[in-house]
Chain A
Amino acid sequence: MPNLTYIALIPLLPLAGFLLLGIFGRNYFKTTSGIIGTTLLLIATVLAIYTAYGYFFEYGKVAGVYQKLVPLHYTWLEFSKGVSIDMGIILDPISVMMLVVVTFVSLMVHIYSLVYMKGEERFPTYYAFLGLFTFSMLGLVVSSNIFQMYIFWELVGVSSFLLIGYYYDRPSAVAACKKAFIVTRFADAGFLIGILILSFYSGTLDFNTLIQKLTSPDSVELKNAVAASFLGVSALTWGLVLVFIGGAGKSAMFPLHIWLPDAMEGPTPVSALIHAATMVVAGVFLVARLFPVFAISAPEALNLVGYVGAISALIAAVIACTQTDIKRVLAYSTMSQIGFMMFALGVSGHGGENGLGYTASMFHLFTHAMFKALLFLGAGSVIHFIHSNEMKDMGGLRKYLPITHITFLIACLAIAGVPPFAGFFSKEEILLAAYQHNSIIYYVALFTSGLTAFYMFRLYFSIFWNKKADIHGEHHGEGGFALLMPLILLAVGAAAAGFIPFGNFVSSDGTKLESAFHLQFSILPVAIGLIGIFTAMWLYKKKNDKPDKIAASLSGLYKAAYRKFYIDELYTFITKKILFNLIGRPAAWFDKNIVDGLVNATGKATQTISEKIKGMQSGKVQQYAIYFLIGVIALAVLFIYVWK
């Protein structure tokens, strides 16, 4: 194995960018910070691709199985023997794949932002935050230790918070960033407790050791973990479910998805980076990382993953059909697609042909990163051009934004699962895996993929066709090369990524997975996708009143979907009414009145008693004499009768 310590540079370069720009950017790199950040990331990307090449084609494979390499590893915080937080780098197919995806998408966003964010007052800060995010995300994917992953997990959360709140003087952005952070934080608490449970039973925090201890059937740790139970569910399952809650929070799975649409308040390239391609798939990645434990030792937990994924996919797709803010449509679409990845994992088994879902999920993660980033960047271009997020302000833009139009179309075709674009291949695999393992999920998925095609093309037609938007006098073009190049590169990815023989590289057990292509199986999903597309075309290609009519006829359902099934309201109710009014306010009241009241009452009592005692010291000689006599009598009685 060659010396791989250079891999540490991949996350560290963006970190360096963050520190440099964060501390000195404001004063010294006011305009050049974008170039600096991009350059650093370019180096990181090159390194990542180099690593991927080396891993997949040179040293990664031993006897036909991709190894888990740990080229770098040192103890960061040792709790007790064997249990320590280590900082390390793990190389296995998924982490290498993620390295490439993250650096590549991040690079695209960096380049895109050079133009898109130009002239912003806090330009250096923006790039600093991008650097921080990229660092955290890369650290997350290469984590060799579950606690290390938690650390980067949190860092990812905070950098997402900072980026969503980039426009800090907009109240909506502030609310959105707080919401995102708190919701994910809540999920992270679950993750943390999950880590505690897993580490307690396995006696380690290291991924490799942990997986090994909790999957080998004769290990004591596994037996203990399965034997201990709470509410009839084994401790191991609890641990994994809690870990999954963490993942669900980051990946915006139902019912922890509410932050994702609001997070669109951030700059659009940020949405492309964080809320489409990288951070939101962290949950999927986490489940994939622990996949052997899920699949071998706690299939109940894996089932839960599958159902949560399917429900999220469906709900998000339904909501996406009704939203009018294009970024929100994309956000729900993201959620839906991540739901696909999740349930793909959920229906997967471990090893061999059974592991199809795993491969499919990772494959979809990969292709989705391409076309979703492309969609967001495309939407960014549109928003940049039209200065609005609302569909009603758009229409007929294909003339003004030809390249955006084409790339957007490619992305839509990809996500709709039209062959031969990338999404087709990954989605087919997912559906196949679902078909083989769980028919309920399969039908949900089939329906959802039709909806996907429908809402994506609704979006597409509303933006680029339909009525003609009023474009006022100032007509600026699509933007420069920096704005278009990422679009084109991503479009190439979205179009061609499907042809990668993904099963050769990524599979649940590291061996090669032959993904057979079943033509007869593919007909149905493709047909459904096409139906979706044509429905959308029929409804939205020309301006007409059919959509409104349909919406009116489905008024209840439409309204519910439009209002996102009132989940936000539910959360508001829980937080405002229950957390604040029923717990916070009473706690504060209790403290102010009872605890503090008691303390003050003690003080008051002391004062009152002293006041009374002071009254005895009246200066009246007769009173003193009476006290004296009483005292004497009392003492006499005591001495004579009590203490004989």
Chain B
Amino acid sequence: MNLLLLILVPLLTATAILLMRNASQVKWVALTGATAQLILAFVLFFAFRKEQAAGNPLQMLFQQQYNWFPSWHISFHLGVDGISVAMILLTAFVVIAGVLVSWNVARMTKEFYFLLILLSLGAYGFFISLDLFVLFFFLEIAVIPKYLLIGIWGNGKKEYSANKLALMLMGGSALVLVGLLGVYFSTPEHTFDLLKLSDIQIPPEVQKICFPLLFVGFGVFTAIFPLHTWVPDGHSSAPTAGSMFLAGISMKLGGYGCLRVAVFLMPQGAKEYSTIIIVLSTIAILYGAFATMMQKDLKYMNAYSSVSHCGFVLLGIGMLTKVSMTGAVMQMVSHGLMTALFFAVIGMIYERTHTRQVNEMGGLLKVMPFIITILFIVGLCSLGLPGLSGFVAEMTVFMGSWQHPDPLHRIATIAACLSIVVTAVYILRAIGQTAMGPIKAGYENLSDATWNEKLAAIILVIGIVAIGTAPFWLNDLVSPASQLILEKIQLVQ
């Protein structure tokens, strides 16, 4: 399968959107594009599985390489492994749901959808590129639209949030760039090519400097403690689809980068810093969970819980075992779907009640059973109910983390296990206050979800349930890739 399609389809969609005359055309074009992306992602998935089943030994499948800046050894090198395929599937799911949820965006519809599709373009490009420069290029493409999405279509203190988010993410990508350049110049070949670099042993002293740069740089995207503060403000100010993309896709760029670039290229650095990563991510998990408990705004709640959940991603990566890294990827996919859905639901509720404060709601189950059912599902997913994706991912991380017998890893794992109790506390609190109890005055006549909202929610729920009830396909997809990363780590002693 030609991976260029993954870039071309969003590109064409975006161009087509610009050519459209009215909002309704724009929406349908965007939906068509998003559907095409979804189909493409599935085609890729099945093609990949077929190759995998056929025993293709290559680490990266469907590779393509075009010269870009030959003098600097930059080439447009594409290819996917199991982790990328999982991320691409996630992106496709979130994009189509985001497009559907934004059906009622009235202001500057064309620009809104253009930016959404552009963001998805950046994400796809990021996930499939095997050249670090190209990877960075797409990372930046994925950052800029967020600034505009929040700054223009957001609410609340949107300018502040947009600035904060863009600056922190830009700061992160600046670190990434420095790290990438460090890697580039440290090797005699001067290459950005991921596969070539992975064959070369990057000198340990370079790893020592570049690993933290890259890890923290990407870590900012995935809300590494204490650089997570863009998350609550950014999410709460963003429009619904913006939050969904932000949490569902952007935060995953960071996790993917940490794994694919930082850990994969610099296993020695990873070993050296794994303690710090573990400590920070454990703090993030617990601290995010406790901070969530105190929030009153649904979006803030979900944003802080994202900090906590993304801590699992980093914890999984930091533990450096095959299972834990597989778990980290699963958690990325799971959290992506789950948070996107959570934000979608919050958006739906907000559109009807015009408040996001939990204590101003109550008994909504009576008037909007569909939306609240989805809220229940997503809440239960968040607190790790078996049968939904969150459970599978978290348990995989725990199982992976527990393989280290020393106290630090043990304590981190136990702390992470205990966080699921705190998660239960805040999720139940949120659900209890919004959905249950006597209905508040003024909410008696609210309507339930419209077709597009239902469709969006159902698509994401299908994703969540598919992982939750049948995790083996995701596991089979991801674990060979994490096995390869692990082998690189094991080479270093």
Contact = CB atoms under 8 A, between A and B. Distances in A.
Contacts of A174: 432, 436-437
A476 to B, nearest CB: 28
Interface string A586-608: 01101100011011000100000
A76 B472 contact: yes
A171 B437 CA distance: 5
Nearest to B387: A155
B322 A80 contact: yes
Contacts of B365: 168
Given A154-B391, A196-B413, A599-B229, A171 B438 contact: yes
Interface in B406-456: 413-414, 417-418, 420-421, 424-425, 428-429, 432, 435-439
Contact of B420 (A185, A200, A591, A599): A185
A77 B291 contact: no
A33 to B, nearest CB: 15
B411 to A, nearest CB: 11
A79 B399 contact: yes
B436 A168 contact: yes
Interface bracket on A: 35 or more
Contact of A165 (B399, B420, B436): B436
Interface string A176-191: 0110011001100100
Contacts of A175: 432
A237 to B, nearest CB: 16
Given A185-B424, A189-B418, A169 B400 contact: no
A175 B168 CA distance: 40
A29 B400 CA distance: 45
A200 B294 contact: no
B402 interface: yes
Given A182-B425, A196-B402, A588 B295 contact: yes
A583 B290 contact: yes
B395 interface: yes
Nearest to B398: A196
B203 interface: no
> DSSP majority for the A interface?
helix
Given A174-B437, A189-B417, A196 B229 contact: no
A199 to B, nearest CB: 7
B291 A591 contact: yes
B433 to A, nearest CB: 9
Contacts of B229: 591, 595-596, 599
B471 A77 contact: yes
A286 B293 CA distance: 32
Nearest to B426: A584
A177 B107 CA distance: 42
A78 B472 contact: yes
A168 B437 CA distance: 6
A220 to B, nearest CB: 15
A595 B226 contact: yes
Contacts of B472: 75-78
Interface in B151-210: 163-164, 167-168
A73 interface: no
A189 B429 CA distance: 19
Interface string B464-478: 000000111001000
A26 interface: yes
Contacts of A591: 229, 232, 287, 291, 304
B387 A83 contact: no
Contact of A603 (B164, B366, B383, B432): B164
A521 interface: no
Given A169-B437, A182-B424, A79 B400 contact: yes
Given A168-B436, A192-B417, A587 B363 contact: no
Contact of B421 (A83, A185, A583): A185
A193 interface: yes
Interface string B293-322: 111000000001000000000000000001
Contact of A154 (B168, B363, B386): B386
A193 B167 CA distance: 40
Interface string A238-275: 00000000000000000000000000000000000000
Given A169-B366, A189-B417, A580 B399 contact: no
Interface of B is mostly: helix
B385 interface: yes
A91 B232 CA distance: 50
Given A155-B387, A169-B439, A182-B428, A80 B323 contact: yes
A199 B380 contact: no
Contacts of B395: 77, 85, 147, 192
Given A77-B471, A80-B322, A196-B413, A152 B386 contact: yes
B403 interface: yes
A511 to B, nearest CB: 35
A12 to B, nearest CB: 13
A599 B424 contact: no
B2 to A, nearest CB: 32
Interface string B78-96: 0000000000000000000
A289 to B, nearest CB: 18
A16 interface: no
A588 B291 contact: yes
B402 A200 contact: yes
Task: Point out which of B229, B230, B323 has the most chain A C-beta atoms below 10 A from its C-beta.
Answer: B229
B392 interface: yes
Contacts of B413: 193, 196
B465 to A, nearest CB: 11
B396 interface: yes
B417 A77 contact: no
A585 interface: yes
A463 interface: no
A536 interface: no
A412 B367 CA distance: 44
Interface in A126-180: 147, 150-152, 154-155, 158, 161, 165, 168-171, 173-175, 177-178
Contacts of B290: 583-584, 587-588
Contacts of B418: 189
Interface in B364-385: 365-366, 369, 380, 383-385
A151 B387 contact: yes
A394 B409 CA distance: 58
A158 B164 CA distance: 39
B294 A587 contact: yes
Contacts of A177: 428, 432
Nearest to B435: A168
A168 B400 contact: no
Nearest to A148: B386
B432 A158 contact: no
Contacts of B417: 189, 192-193, 196
B469 to A, nearest CB: 9
24 contacts: A79-B396, A151-B386, A158-B385, A170-B438, A174-B432, A174-B436, A182-B421, A182-B424, A182-B425, A185-B421, A189-B418, A192-B417, A193-B417, A196-B402, A579-B425, A580-B293, A584-B291, A584-B293, A587-B291, A588-B291, A588-B295, A590-B287, A591-B229, A595-B226
Interface of A: 26, 75-80, 83, 85, 147, 150-152, 154-155, 158, 161, 165, 168-171, 173-175, 177-178, 181-182, 185-186, 189, 192-193, 196-197, 199-200, 228, 579-580, 583-585, 587-588, 590-591, 595-596, 598-599, 603
Given A26-B369, A182-B421, A189-B420, 7 more contacts: A151-B386, A154-B384, A154-B391, A196-B398, A196-B399, A583-B290, A588-B291
Interface of B: 163-164, 167-168, 226, 228-230, 232-233, 287, 290-291, 293-295, 304, 322-323, 363, 365-366, 369, 380, 383-387, 391-392, 395-396, 398-400, 402-403, 405, 413-414, 417-418, 420-421, 424-425, 428-429, 432, 435-439, 470-472, 475, 479
